[in-house]
């Protein structure tokens, strides 16, 4: 009987295999279509609206990221479909600040997705790229104090030295009112060199030379482009940058950036013959080394290096982008610029500003603070989404329950345009809204630094640096856009990388 059954089944298998062989492309195409339809309709989020392609595959996300303006795509999606949009087979994007609060809330169990696992270095993730929650919390525990505002105050000297160097370079442009100044580049170089001083007590030399040394900044942009794109399909990373064959292929070994080489040199320079490290000093590396001495088992030398090194990559582009947006938005709004200049002038005449503006002095300039908040609201420095996974037991987000495993996405460009929170003119750059509406409520719904337990650890440095240098520039120069109204050129890889802020400078009279 068994023989008969085996004989009767064999022809079916043979026929099936023959059919597959003869019509391989048709079968493969049918399987892909079938899988896509299954993912679209057999899903707990099948009723969430969104593009058809997004519900079937991650191709929509890939294409949107590749376009370089995924933040604009998300704004358009939410305006078409509403506050909840399906952006991938198992991903939902939210436009509601209330949803953001639910997702960012500490202790709710929303963990990072594998999107972050693509970011380098693979062997030693930093606070931003670490996807293991216990390890992320452990690293952050030791890094909080070195990144605190109080510690930034202690580093005022090196930061102010960089501000003075920037002023010297801007003076060269101001000496000839017809000389074109690419302010976007100078601010970018400044931001990188400040991080060099803060992290390693050593400048990278970008601002001094007014050039991207060894193409390091472009290299970071290229790396981020890869991270943002492949992060949408992280399982493909094993075939690309983290291919196990890569170390054996000499043509596939990228040269380390200037920043990485300096980081390696500084750590090696501080290592003593007995294997311990010189942790004296006030820079970030020294403080992290002191934390390592306190508990070397939980906070390793790899952790020290990855956090100090990661500070350069995470803090420079984001701070530069925000400063570029600030000047672009302010200078394209003549009334705003005039009001801002008046506030700075009055503070100067009243003797309320030091030769190098202090952080405390900057906090008292209310209109400036409104302009800075508004710039971060309209053009946050991160263009891609913040991705999290719903905990295994599921969770309620803005009044609806989502089962475990569903991935959620939040984009600051979308969240910051919620009209219920920021007003009907939320698309517009208008600092006055911070005096007309409830400023505390608006501030609580801002996501430019993330939120919850994953709030950006470098925010104190970014705010400290920007509060000092932006007012310094406003006080010392009259700035005119070379191309009034021309959109600022930018693309979103992960951070919003901008260029083309060309201006004319004129030294202001005392």
- Give pLDDT tens digits along the chain (510 positions): 444 444 445 677 776 777 666 776 776 666 667 666 656 677 889 999 999 998 988 999 999 999 999 999 999 999 999 999 999 999 999 999 899 999 998 888 899 999 998 987 777 788 888 888 888 888 888 888 888 999 999 999 999 999 999 999 999 999 987 899 999 999 999 999 999 999 999 888 999 999 998 888 888 888 889 999 999 999 999 998 888 888 787 777 767 777 788 888 888 999 999 989 999 988 999 999 999 999 888 899 999 988 888 877 777 889 999 999 999 999 999 999 999 999 999 999 999 999 999 999 999 999 999 999 999 999 999 999 999 999 999 999 999 999 999 999 999 999 999 999 999 999 999 999 999 999 999 999 999 998 877 788 889 999 999 999 999 999 999 999 999 989 999 999 889 999 999 999 999 875
Instruction: Give the Cα separation of 477 and 112 in Å (integer).
Output: 44
Which residue in the block uniquely carries the two structure tokens 């030399």? 205
Helices (H), 437-488: 439-444, 459-476
**Residue 262: exposure state from Cβ atoms within 10 A (0-12, 13-18, ≥19):** buried
Query: b/e per residue, 214-244, with b = 16+ CB within 10 A?
Result: eebbebbbebbbbbbbbbbbbeebeeebeee
Concatenating the DSSP letter of every residue in 310-348 gives: HHHHHHHHHHHHHHHHHHHHHHT-HHHHHHHHHHHHHHH
**Other Cβ atoms within 10 Å of 263 Cβ, number:** 24
Is the pTM above the cut of 0.75? yes
Identify the structural domains of the chain with CATH numbers, from first to last. 43-507 (1.10.630.10)
Beta strand ranges found along 146-282 (DSSP E): 181-182
Q: Give the residue numbers of the binding site.
A: 456
Instruction: Give the Cα separation of 456 and 450 in Å (integer).
Output: 6
Strand, coil or helix: 14: helix
For residue 505, the cross-strand partners are: 479
Break the chain down into helix, strand, coil percent, rounded to 5: 55, 10, 35
Q: Give the residue numbers of the binding site for heme.
A: 456
Query: b/e per residue, 13-35, with b = 16+ CB within 10 A?
Result: eeeeeeeeeeeeeeeeeeeeeee
């Amino acid at each position: 009987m068994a023989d008969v059954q085996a004989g009767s089944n064999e022809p079916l298998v043979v026929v099936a295999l023959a059919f597959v062989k003869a019509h391989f492309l048709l079968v493969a195409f049918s399987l892909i279509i079938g899988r896509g339809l299954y993912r679209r309709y057999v899903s707990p989020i099948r009723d969430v609206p969104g593009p058809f392609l997004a519900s079937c595959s991650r191709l929509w996300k890939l294409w949107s990221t590749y376009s370089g303006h995924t933040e604009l795509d998300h704004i358009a999606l939410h305006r078409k479909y509403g506050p909840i949009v399906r952006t991938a087979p198992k991903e939902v994007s939210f436009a509601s600040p209330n949803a953001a609060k639910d997702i960012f809330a500490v202790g709710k169990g929303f963990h990072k997705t594998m999107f972050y696992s693509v970011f380098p270095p693979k062997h030693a993730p930093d606070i931003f790229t670490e996807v293991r929650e216990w390890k992320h919390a452990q690293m952050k525990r030791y890094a909080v104090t070195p990144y605190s505002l109080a510690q930034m105050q202690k580093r005022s000297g090196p930061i102010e030295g960089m501000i003075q160097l920037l002023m010297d370079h801007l003076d060269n442009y101001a000496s000839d009112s017809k000389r074109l100044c690419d302010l976007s580049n100078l601010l970018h170089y400044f931001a990188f060199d400040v991080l060099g001083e803060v992290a390693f007590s050593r400048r990278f030399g970008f601002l001094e030379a007014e050039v991207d040394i060894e193409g390091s900044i472009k290299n970071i942009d290229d790396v981020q482009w890869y991270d943002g794109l492949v992060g949408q399909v992280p399982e493909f990373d094993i075939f690309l940058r983290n291919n196990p064959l890569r170390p054996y292929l000499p043509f596939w070994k990228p040269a380390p950036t200037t920043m990485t080489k300096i980081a390696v040199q500084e750590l090696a320079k501080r290592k003593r013959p007995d294997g311990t490290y010189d942790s004296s000093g006030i820079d970030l590396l020294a403080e992290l080394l002191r934390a390592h001495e306190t508990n070397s088992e939980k906070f390793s030398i790899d952790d020290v290096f990855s956090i100090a090194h990661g500070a350069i990559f995470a803090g420079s582009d984001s701070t530069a982008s925000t400063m570029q947006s600030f000047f672009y938005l302010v200078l394209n709004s003549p009334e705003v610029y005039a009001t801002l200049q008046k506030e700075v002038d009055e503070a100067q005449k009243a003797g309320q500003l030091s030769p190098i503006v202090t952080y405390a002095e900057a906090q008292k300039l209310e209109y400036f603070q409104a302009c800075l908040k508004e710039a971060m609201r309209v053009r946050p420095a991160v263009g891609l989404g913040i991705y999290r996974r719903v905990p295994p037991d599921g969770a309620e987000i803005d009044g609806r329950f989502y089962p475990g495993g569903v991935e959620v996405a939040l984009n600051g460009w979308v969240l910051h345009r919620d009209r219920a929170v920021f007003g009907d003119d939320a698309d517009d750059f208008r600092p006055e809204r911070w005096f007309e509406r409830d400023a505390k409520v608006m501030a609580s719904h801002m996501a430019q630094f993330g939120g919850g337990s994953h709030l950006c650890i470098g925010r104190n440095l970014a705010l400290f640096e920007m509060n000092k240098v932006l007012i310094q520039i406003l006080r010392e120069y009259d700035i005119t856009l070379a191309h009034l109204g021309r959109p600022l050129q930018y693309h979103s890889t992960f951070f919003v990388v901008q260029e083309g802020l060309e201006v004319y400078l004129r030294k202001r009279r005392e």
